[in-house]
Amino acid sequence: MIAVKRVVLDVLKPHHPNALEFCQALSAVIEGSTVNVTVIAVDEKTESLEVSVEAALIDFDLLQDVINKMGGALHSIDEVEVKNEPNS
Amino acid sequence: MNIFTRAEFLLNITRSQGIARRYFVVNGFDGALTMLGMILGFQFSASTQLSITINACLGASIALGVSGVSSAYISELAERRRALLKLEEAMLEDLQESAHSEAARWVPIMIALVNGSAPLFISLVILSPLLLTHAGVVLPISPLFLAIILALIIVFLLGVFLGRIAGTSWLRSGVQTLFIAITTSVLIFLFTGY
């Protein structure tokens, strides 16, 4: 099974929800995940984030869904780490 | 996420807690002063049947409630839609599936309910001595007098609430709003009871 272990994303989002709430919402949908959010640029109504997510298995569609629900827009996938794990 | 956490989240992302609080105080104050004015008017008038007083005051309370709900809903819906449009322009994205779009639909309803329920609830509390007397409960003092005291207490408490929000002296803020209520009472007395 190809498992996505780590992704680094470039995300644009409104100021609210803030980075902490955004980070918590992402972490809440992926079990055992570590989410790291860095605010790169702040505009009048928006801010650009570098979002790094690490977990045993990342459901990317779910991640993207949460980003959209929180009002964010995925601009690019900057880093990906996947692992081909033997089926148990 | 339960309904209250969700509502808090939607109010938070639209920064609407302050608006809801302001509407609660403004329209609550309206409700309290309207009831105070009506009850004082009846108090200064020739003896009136209690049922007439209750019906007149209830009618005003319902009108204040409906007016509060409808006016806040219409204005907040327009404001939220405008804010969403501005955000979509800044994001260069359609946000229809986002929490911001959900907030644009639900926040006006929440604020309208706060705006409408504040005067209605406060009016009903002020009218409670009249309603109790009408239901056959014997009160130690006149129900109209008790309703006036309740109205003054509620106005004072609204001032205390404002003082606590502003982080200033709650006593000073409470006395200020009480002074407004007493001034209103004096004006009503001068125009109707003198």
ipTM, two decimals: 0.77
Instruction: Please check whether residue B98 touches A, CB under 8 A.
Output: yes
pLDDT given for residue A87 in this prediction: 75
The dihedrals phi and psi of A38, each to the nearest 5 degrees, come to -120, 125
Q: What is the pLDDT of residue B43?
A: 87
Does A68 contact B98 at a Cβ distance shorter than 8 Å? yes
For residue A83, the model assigns a pLDDT of 92
Q: Once rounded to an integer, what is the mean pLDDT over residues B35-54?
A: 88
CATH for A2-84, options being 3.40.50.620, 3.90.550.10, 3.40.50.720, 3.30.70.1340: 3.30.70.1340
Mean pLDDT in residue range B114-130: 95
In which band, very low, low, confident or very high, does the pLDDT at B145 lie, cut at 50, 70 and 90? very high
The pLDDT value given to residue A50:
96
Please tell me if residue B51 touches chain A, with a CB cutoff of 8 Å: no
Task: Identify all chain B residues contacting A48, using CB atoms and an 8 Å cutoff.
Answer: none
Distance CA(B138)–CA(B152), nearest Å, equals 22
* Structure-token match 């570590």, residue found: A34
Phi-psi region of B139 (alpha: psi -120 to 50; beta: other; left: phi over 0): beta
Q: Which residues of A touch B13 (CB under 8 A)?
A: 14, 16-17, 71
Residues A11-59 pLDDT 10s: 999 999 999 999 999 999 998 999 999 999 999 889 999 999 999 999 9
pLDDT for B1 = 66
Instruction: Assess B83–A contact: CB distance below 8 Å, yes or no.
Output: no
pTM for this prediction? 0.81
Sorted by where each begins, the domain ranges of chain A are: 2-84
